[in-house]
Amino acid sequence: TDDADAGSQSSGSHGASGGAGHKTYDLDSSDTFFVEHANMPFPAVASDVSTQLQEYNKKLQEMRSKDGGAGKLSSAINALPQMTEMKRSLDEHTNIASAMLKEIQEREINKYYEAESEFGSQGRTAGMTALMERLSPEGKGTAIDKLRAALVFVLRKPNLTSEQVDAICARLKEIGADPAAVEFIRSLQSMRQLTLDTTAIGDDQPQQKEPQQASFGGADATSGFAMFANKFASQMQQHGEGLLTGLKNLKNLLPMREDTLTTRIVSELMEQSESGANKLTQDYEYFDPRASTLAGESRSRHIPRVRGSFHQAIVFMVGGGNYVEQHTLSEWASSSRSRDSAGQPRSVIYGATDFVSPSAFCQELETLGNEK
């Protein structure tokens, strides 16, 4: 999903606040369940929730058991604080997950995610058909959901015709969304293509245009929540089963393992491969403040490159960063794919001028589109 529409995730103490029918939870690093599951996709949390629910019910039944005498009773009394905290946590995450599940179902976010994931492998005609179905006035989803689907499609298909872009913009207007964001992205693509054309003509080379496929990392499905609990074990079990049933149809929310462009660039820079496979970074400048250079020589042009791979990197985005980019980079750094021949893991620090939510990013594009 885009933003935390069904609950907040902010630093602070545990607890819920808000008026009737609306609760706000503060989740921080002291919430072990949140910390452990913050990077897990929404459907994957269900299996871990089921395990915790079974553990809670098992302990509850043991405490209710009359067998064991005074020693068993003493242990049960000592376990009460832990059980109370477990119930509070389960109850809290149940409410968050239930609200998220309701939001996903009402907006059909899983279907948007599935459609957006398939845009890259579809042709223009098939993709347009799928997009226009999502943008139908009768279709579920908010105006921002539909705008984002259109943006993903346009980014995936930079070789769209003017008629196709006009049709997308007209449909967005019909459903009450501002097409300025799409128009702005389209203008950037046109400027980029013009630059490519000019370069090709200036080099006096025959033009062999190939569609420039924009890189767009798969969005992670959701983060940090789990479920289950009510006042009694039986009610908790029923509630948990209902939530798991609702999740059965949301398998398409599992994220695809697709590295973002930033991750691929960082991977190439840290690997320092000599095989000539570093196509993304072959024109990158190289600076080494420790290397000695001859007077008057450019530091970036004449410094011999360090052979071997790097183990530490700082990646900073001048402008807006985003969670998907950060998460994909972090996943790569901690995975076996990033380890060197000696099995050493990488250390990558990610930073940005600002972290922009998906909705805020759409609004920024709309503003730029209306100002151009």
- Read off the pLDDT of residues 219-253 as tens digits, 9 standing for 90 and up: 333 333 233 223 333 433 444 444 545 555 555 55
DSSP bridge partners of 350: 315
Name the average pLDDT for the chain: 74
The pLDDT of 189-202, averaged and rounded, is 61
Residue range 146-150: mean pLDDT, rounded: 95
Report which residue type is found at 5: D
Average pLDDT over residues 6-14: 41
* Averaged pLDDT for residues 312-334: 89
Task: Tell me which of 367 and 203 has the higher pLDDT.
Answer: 367
Residue-level pLDDT at 323: 85
The contacts found for 317-320 with CB under 8 angstroms, 24 or more apart, are 317/262, 317/350, 317/351, 317/352, 317/353, 318/353, 319/352, 319/353, 319/354, 320/352, 320/353, 320/354, 320/355, 320/356, 320/361, 320/364
Nearest Cα neighbor of 145 from 111, 117, 187, 194 is: 111
pLDDT, greater one: 209 or 170: 170
Could you give the CA distance from residue 323 to residue 325 in angstroms, rounded to a whole number?
A: 5
* Residue bearing the bigger pLDDT, 358 or 67: 358
3 state DSSP class of 172:
helix
Split at pLDDT 50, 70, 90, the class of 17 is low
What is the distance of C-alpha 334 from the center of its chain? 17
pLDDT of 16: 59
- In sequence order, the 6+-apart residues with CB closer than 8 A to the CB of 239 are 94, 98, 228, 229, 230
pLDDT of residue 70: 62
Measured in residues, the chain has a length of: 372
Q: Enter the pTM of the model.
A: 0.69
Condensed to tens digits (0 to 9), the pLDDT of residues 333-372 reads: 888 777 766 777 789 999 999 988 888 989 999 999 998 6
Query: Between 91 and 306, whose confidence is greater?
Result: 91
